[in-house]
Amino acid sequence: MSNYPSRSHKSLATPRLFFASIGLSLCFNLTMIALMLFNSINAAANPIQQDDIITTDVVNSFDELGHGTLLFKHATQYKKAAQLNIDVVMNITGMINRVSVTQSFSNTTDDWQEGIYVFPLPENAAVDHMRLMIGERIIEGQIKEKQEANKVYQQAKKQGKQAALTKQERPNIFTTSVANIAPHETVEVEIEYQQIIDYDNGAFSLRFPMVVGPRYIPGKQRIAGFSGTGWALNTNEVADAARITPPVLPPGSQRKNEVSLKINLNAGLTLENIHSTYHVIEVDKQAGHYEIQLKQETTLANRDFELIWQPHASDIPKAALFTEEMNGDTYALIMMVPPTVKKTETLSKEIIYVIDTSGSMGGQSIVQARTALELALTRLKPGDRFNVIQFNSFTSKLFNHAESVNSATLEQALNYVRSLEAGGGTEMATALHAALANQSNDNSLRQIIFMTDGSIGNEQALFEIIQKELGHSRLFTVGIGSAPNSHFMRRAANFGRGTHTHIGKLDEVQKRMQNLFEKIENPILKDITIDWGQMNSTAKNIAPNIEAWPQKISDLYRGEPLLITAKAKQLPNAINISGDVANDNWSSKLTLNGGQTRQGISTLWARNKIAALMEQKRDNEFESIKQLIIDTALEHHLVSKFTSLVAVDVTPVRPLDKTLDSHAIPTHLPAGWDHKKVFGQPFPATATDARLNFIIGMLLMLLTSLLVLCLHGRMTAGMQEIERRRKPKPRYLGSPIAPTVGVRNINPNPSS
Amino acid sequence: MIRTFKKVLIIFLPLCGLWFIGQGSYIHAKAVVAQLLLETAWTETLGGNKEVKPWPWSDTWPVARLSAPALGISRIVLAGASGSSLAFGPGHLFGSTPPGENGNIIISGHRDTHFSFLENIKKGDHLELQSNKKTSAYQVTDIQIIDKTKVEAIPVDSENKLILITCYPFDAIQSGGPLRYMITAKFKHSFILS
């Protein structure tokens, strides 16, 4: 206290200025803070009119929505796009389906148009023909390397010639572009493909997808604006996002893409029944074949079509052989059903259930997935271990680690599953990592049941995760909803050494899941090798003059047939197929004569070869494998990732002074999907912290002022004290106050 | 001891205060200066260049000019509504209809900088949106306050309109509140740039 006065000597020199400045800043601070606070309080005190607030019942956190959710770039642009109609004709003979898809583009505007249509085909479709049909004229498409085909098309487009280009974006996503459609003209593009019919558990089936469900595009958006015709921007993870995300019609739109469907089914067997899972059909039995069509002539292109036909029990085929002679080679498609093995004792196992709860699962899909998952949980047995993982923009787990099955954990899981809601992005990679992590080293049975619609654009990256991290797990995919990404389901299960199934509506959950459980719970046939009989069986699948695809045969689950395509100078009389089932060797001899001759077996063989090569391509040998794919595709006239079909009319029709409008054909949202859940744009954050910063700053200044003032007060007191000491002290001797002081000093307990 | 502490406080507190005030001012300064820089980039865009970056390290570019003629307000709108672009100007939401085209054009901005003027917009007011193709006039038809925890997504339709979004209340101290102020303006007519 003693040296205080000397320290503040300076301020003492200008006390007025000092006080004035402090006072001023105090006033300013106080006013500012009061103003800000008043405004805020005012805002809070004026309650918002309830009718102004839009509310819906669905509560979902916006912050969870990933950046992959974008919307309606072409909100009203689509009105100008060409009208699209699709006619599908299928010819099924035995296990082979030859399909013609005619896409007709009608330009209803007064301008010249280019129509771009992104559409799905079955993931095993071998597209080998495309023709452009303008009135009576038919121009056959030529197979070319992708870039060259594109160049030819672009040039024709510029020259005003009518042209069509069909290219592959994914094994199950294709794009048709048609240039120079005259005002009020209709141009047709016919695409033909061949596919092998699915055969499982004694029933044949085919799926014909009609719409590419909007795909979630993970990754950082590239700053390049929109390229291509899609609603998504290309990202670092999905470089072609704009090409696989056709614009989607907004809810309530009057526009319709309609599909007509005619099937000529020649099963070659007596059939027990034929039925379509999602569409009402009419079946007309003719001599030796069935004619099938949609009951209502057309249907909206908004969900997969599925046809299933079942032979009589006595007629269920156990093996089949189809051959084709071409250019001195014999091509063969060989099918064989391994015998079912009696169920062995069940081992305890670990099952990880993964469920997609992203926005695309909103609507009916999430209900199907929840039901399927509940059913799966009830199959668990005491001694098993399990966990449930859900993912959207984020991944979360029911338990930290897999838990043993008991009534408490099961109850907990069921409650968890029942409360699952859909919303947000589809960050599938983190979910896969989570499902494949924490594998024990004891090689015990570990199964992952993965329920999703596969609406993602980064398939390849996900397949790589599965390949790398699979360990001893097996991954089973359950494709949910009306337009699942079947390519993802099949391939992911393939890489995951599991199998796949589809659920497209609630009342098939029971049956499909039952079928899946039977596959999962029964012994599988693994390590399958084929001895082509021409080599000493040194465990090689392929004899020198036989080229069979796929080379590595996947494990077969109960009811699944072995399907293999081969090319040979001459087929051997018999082959020997062997494998391992329930730790026993199994082998079977199959004689290869008396097969039926079918056109297009070579195409199927080439398609299988390309699919296998696409999986093999690695960075170091990318170029050589790419060349092999191109050679195979060009030889067999096949559309692939690296080859496209292009058709160009000779004479230019568009006067070059007329401009060409380019429009993507808008597609329907898959049936049962919720538009808002997929395309809903979250509200952005639209406030800064400037005001908060100001207030904190002002408060601190105010505090300083107060502090200074307070200290100064004490300082002033000190000054006065000094001054008082300097001046002679006033004396109050004998004043009447003195006794009072004395009274105050009287204390009954002085020591306290 | 206590006295040293007080001394430190006397120096430290106002420094902190100044820092916070500086932060606040910086946000406003950035908002103002960026708009000036953006003017040049926008002029270049109108000259036919695409995606003109206003400064070399920018991750956004001007896509439109939004003006409220009655209020004498003009703002350069940037591509994208991420936090980093909203610091410099109102942002056009990727995925919504691009300015100059038909559909729901959605622009959002900070309620305390570029979009503070929205508070003064009334039903019936005119707004103009200049893109590199044309200038379109819009008339405000609706002003709503939306609780984003209750509404799933920005409500959109297939009409031809401009939607402006900012945070609400305008005078809230903290950012990150759930309310949004949404102005909807119907397309009236457009005129080609002169």
Q: Which of B1, B82, B152 to probe the A interface (max A CBs under 10 A)?
A: B152
Distance CA B60, CA B63 (A): 9
Q: Do A690 and B28 touch (CB under 8 A)?
A: yes
CA B69 to chain A, closest CA, distance in angstroms equals 23
- Identify the pLDDT of residue B67: 92
Same-domain check for residues A328 and A307: no
- A474, A505, A521 - which closes a domain: A521
Q: Do A253 and B17 touch (CB under 8 A)?
A: no
Same-domain check for residues A491 and A599: no
Q: Do A76 and B10 touch (CB under 8 A)?
A: no
In tens, the pLDDT along A195-214 reads 999 999 889 999 999 999 88
The dihedral over CA atoms of A743, A745, A748, A752, expressed in degrees to the nearest 10, equals 160
Sheet of strand A596-597: strand arrangement:
A546-549, A562-568, A329-336, A319-326, A596-597
Per-residue pLDDT band for A26 (boundaries 50, 70, 90) equals low
- Identify the pLDDT of residue B82: 76
Same-domain check for residues A480 and A567: no
Q: Is A153 helix (H, G, I), strand (E, B) or coil?
A: helix
Q: Is B155 helix (H, G, I), strand (E, B) or coil?
A: coil
How many domains, chain A? 4
* Per-residue pLDDT at A132 exceeds 60: yes
Same-domain check for residues A414 and A488: yes
* Per-residue pLDDT at A166 exceeds 70: yes
Closest chain A residue to the Cα of B26, Cα to Cα: A690
Name the residue among A37, A54, A691 with its Cβ closest to that of B155.
Answer: A54
Q: Which of B16, B114, B126, B167 is catalytic?
A: B167
Closest chain A residue to the Cα of B156, Cα to Cα: A680
Q: Is A200 helix (H, G, I), strand (E, B) or coil?
A: strand
**Is the CA virtual torsion A139, A141, A144, A147 positive or negative?**
positive
Residue B110: active-site member: yes
* Per-residue pLDDT at B166 exceeds 80: yes
Per-residue pLDDT band for A192 (boundaries 50, 70, 90) equals very high
Per the rule left: phi > 0, alpha: psi between -120 and 50, beta: everything else, A61 is beta
Q: What is the CATH number of the domain that holds A370?
A: 3.40.50.410
- The verdict on residue A56 lying in a domain is no
Q: What is the mean pLDDT of residues A288-304?
A: 93
- Identify the pLDDT of residue A183: 95
* Per-residue pLDDT at A341 exceeds 80: no
Name the residue among B91, B106, B157 with its Cβ closest to that of A681.
Answer: B106
Most confident residue range from A50-59, A266-275, A544-553, A685-694: A266-275
Per-residue pLDDT band for A551 (boundaries 50, 70, 90) equals confident
Looking at every residue in chain A, the average pLDDT score rounds to 82
CA distances from B38 to B30, B81, B92, B136 (A): 12, 16, 15, 20
- The verdict on residue A497 lying in a domain is yes
- Contact of A58 with chain B, judged by CB distance below 8 Å, is answered with yes
- Contact of A1 with chain B, judged by CB distance below 8 Å, is answered with no
A536-540 long-range contacts, CB within 8 A, separation 24+? A537/A576
* Per-residue pLDDT at B102 exceeds 70: yes
Element (H, E) at B184: strand B179-192
Give me the helix-helix angle, A486-495 and A459-469, nearest 10°.
Answer: 20
- Identify the pLDDT of residue A751: 42
Q: How many residues does chain B have?
A: 194
- Domains in chain B, ordered, with CATH? 2-192 (2.40.260.10)
Closest chain B residue to the Cα of A76, Cα to Cα: B103
- Contact of B91 with chain A, judged by CB distance below 8 Å, is answered with yes
- Identify the pLDDT of residue A53: 36
Per-residue pLDDT band for A20 (boundaries 50, 70, 90) equals low
Name the residue among B79, B157, B167 with its Cβ closest to that of A250.
Answer: B157
- Contact of B194 with chain A, judged by CB distance below 8 Å, is answered with no
- Contact of B170 with chain A, judged by CB distance below 8 Å, is answered with yes
β-pairing, A584-591 vs A305-311, is unpaired
Establish how many alpha carbons lie within 13 A of residue B76's alpha carbon, considering only the half-sphere containing its beta carbon.
28
* Per-residue pLDDT at A225 exceeds 60: no
Cβ-based neighbour number of residue B5 at 10 Å: 10
Establish how many alpha carbons lie within 13 A of residue A46's alpha carbon, considering only the half-sphere containing its beta carbon.
11
Phi first, then psi: give them for residue A618, nearest 5 degrees: -120, 165
Contacts of A565 (CB under 8 A, 6+ apart): A331, A332, A333, A334, A548, A549, A601, A604, A605, A608, A609
CA distances from B173 to A41, A273, A435, A675, B187 (A): 10, 70, 43, 35, 34
Q: What is the mean pLDDT of residues A83-110?
A: 95
- The verdict on residue A751 lying in a domain is no
Q: What is the amino acid identity at position B25?
A: S
Q: What is the mean pLDDT of residues A605-630?
A: 88
Residues 106-145 of B with CB under 8 A from A: 106, 108-113, 115, 144-145
- Identify the pLDDT of residue A252: 77
Same-domain check for residues A305 and A383: no
- A578, A607, A633 - which closes a domain: A633
Q: What is the amino acid identity at position A676?
A: K
Q: What is the mean pLDDT of residues A20-31?
A: 64
Q: Do A707 and B152 touch (CB under 8 A)?
A: no
In tens, the pLDDT along A400-410 reads 999 999 999 99
CA B108 to chain A, closest CA, distance in angstroms equals 7
* Per-residue pLDDT at A353 exceeds 60: yes
Token code pair at residue A301? 């292109």
Tokens 């070319």, located at residue: A144
Same-domain check for residues A325 and A410: no
- Contact of B173 with chain A, judged by CB distance below 8 Å, is answered with yes
In tens, the pLDDT along B36-55 reads 889 988 988 888 887 788 88
CA distances from A286 to A266, A283, A289, A313 (A): 10, 10, 5, 21
Contact call for residues B142 and B183 (beta carbons, < 8 A): yes
Q: Which of B110, B114, B126, B189 is catalytic?
A: B110
Q: Do A233 and B94 touch (CB under 8 A)?
A: yes
- Identify the pLDDT of residue A6: 37
- Contact of B102 with chain A, judged by CB distance below 8 Å, is answered with yes
Same-domain check for residues A422 and A565: no
- The verdict on residue A735 lying in a domain is no
Q: Do A40 and B169 touch (CB under 8 A)?
A: yes
Residue closest to A676 by CA, chosen among A51, A54, A117: A54
- The verdict on residue A205 lying in a domain is yes
- Residues of chain B above pLDDT 70, percent: 96
Q: What is the amino acid identity at position A100?
A: S
Per-residue pLDDT band for A15 (boundaries 50, 70, 90) equals low
Distance CA A121, CA A485 (A): 10
Residues 705-734 of A with CB under 8 A from B: 707-708, 711
Range of the domain at A166: 77-314+644-679
Token code pair at residue B29? 């300064």
Per-residue pLDDT band for A133 (boundaries 50, 70, 90) equals very high
CA B72 to chain A, closest CA, distance in angstroms equals 22
A-B contacts (CB, under 8 Å): 230
Distance CA A394, CA A424 (A): 9
- Residues of chain B above pLDDT 90, percent: 31
- Identify the pLDDT of residue A544: 61
- The verdict on residue A693 lying in a domain is no
Same-domain check for residues A300 and A166: yes
CA B98 to chain A, closest CA, distance in angstroms equals 7
Residues 4-23 of A with CB under 8 A from B: none
Residues of A in contact with B101 (CB under 8 A): 77
Per-residue pLDDT band for A729 (boundaries 50, 70, 90) equals low
- The verdict on residue A111 lying in a domain is yes
* Per-residue pLDDT at A663 exceeds 90: no
Most confident residue range from A56-65, A96-105, A655-664: A96-105
Q: What is the CATH number of the domain that holds A331?
A: 2.60.40
Same-domain check for residues A377 and A465: yes
Same-domain check for residues A424 and A393: yes
Residues 383-412 of A with CB under 8 A from B: none
In tens, the pLDDT along B114-127 reads 999 999 999 999 99
List the end-to-end C-alpha distance of chain B, in Å, as a whole number: 73
* Per-residue pLDDT at A710 exceeds 90: no
- Residues of chain A above pLDDT 70, percent: 80
- Contact of B104 with chain A, judged by CB distance below 8 Å, is answered with yes
- Contact of B28 with chain A, judged by CB distance below 8 Å, is answered with yes
**Is the CA virtual torsion A18, A19, A20, A23 positive or negative?**
positive
* Per-residue pLDDT at B56 exceeds 90: no
Closest chain A residue to the Cα of B58, Cα to Cα: A223
Distance CA A464, CA A498 (A): 16
The DSSP line for B111-140 is TTTTTGGGGG--TT-EEEEE-SSEEEEEEE
Q: Do B109 and A677 touch (CB under 8 A)?
A: no
Distance CA A334, CA A316 (A): 16
Q: Where are the alpha helices (DSSP H) in A443-545?
A: 459-469, 486-495, 509-521
- Contact of B29 with chain A, judged by CB distance below 8 Å, is answered with no
CA distances from B47 to A210, A263, B50, B194 (A): 44, 57, 9, 12
Residue closest to A492 by CA, chosen among A482, A483, A484: A484
Per-residue pLDDT band for A705 (boundaries 50, 70, 90) equals confident
Per-residue pLDDT band for B104 (boundaries 50, 70, 90) equals confident
* Per-residue pLDDT at A155 exceeds 60: yes
Residues of A in contact with B169 (CB under 8 A): 40, 43-44
Q: Do B24 and A690 touch (CB under 8 A)?
A: yes
Per-residue pLDDT band for A534 (boundaries 50, 70, 90) equals low
Name the residue among B96, B148, B168 with its Cβ closest to that of A71.
Answer: B96
What's the per-residue H, E or C state across A479-501?
EECCCCCHHHHHHHHHHCCCCEE
Name the residue among B154, B158, B175 with its Cβ closest to that of A689.
Answer: B175
- Contact of B149 with chain A, judged by CB distance below 8 Å, is answered with yes
- Identify the pLDDT of residue A226: 40
CA A55 to chain B, closest CA, distance in angstroms equals 5
- Contact of A52 with chain B, judged by CB distance below 8 Å, is answered with yes
* Per-residue pLDDT at A167 exceeds 70: yes
Distance CA A477, CA A474 (A): 10
Cβ-based neighbour number of residue B174 at 10 Å: 11
Q: Do B102 and A53 touch (CB under 8 A)?
A: no
Which of A265-269, A357-361, A666-670, B130-134 is least confident?
Answer: B130-134
Q: What is the amino acid identity at position B180?
A: R
Residues of B in contact with A694 (CB under 8 A): 20-21, 24-25
Residue closest to A100 by CA, chosen among A203, A217, A192: A192
Residues 45-74 of B with CB under 8 A from A: 50-51, 59-60
Contact call for residues A397 and A434 (beta carbons, < 8 A): yes
* Per-residue pLDDT at A331 exceeds 60: yes
Q: Do B27 and A233 touch (CB under 8 A)?
A: no
CA B138 to chain A, closest CA, distance in angstroms equals 17
- Contact of A690 with chain B, judged by CB distance below 8 Å, is answered with yes
Q: Do A53 and B145 touch (CB under 8 A)?
A: yes
Q: Do B111 and A77 touch (CB under 8 A)?
A: no
- The verdict on residue A740 lying in a domain is no
Q: Which residue has the higher pLDDT, A346 or A703?
A: A703
Token code pair at residue A656? 């070059």
Q: Is A381 helix (H, G, I), strand (E, B) or coil?
A: coil
Same-domain check for residues A84 and A220: yes
Same-domain check for residues A149 and A295: yes
Which of A146-150, A209-213, A340-344 is least confident?
Answer: A340-344
- A497, A521, A545 - which closes a domain: A521
Contact call for residues B124 and A653 (beta carbons, < 8 A): no
A538 alpha-carbon distance from chain centroid = 42
Residue closest to A506 by CA, chosen among A368, A369, A372: A368
- Identify the pLDDT of residue A25: 65
Q: How many degrees, rounded to 5, is the angle at CA A242 between CA A241 and CA A248? A: 105
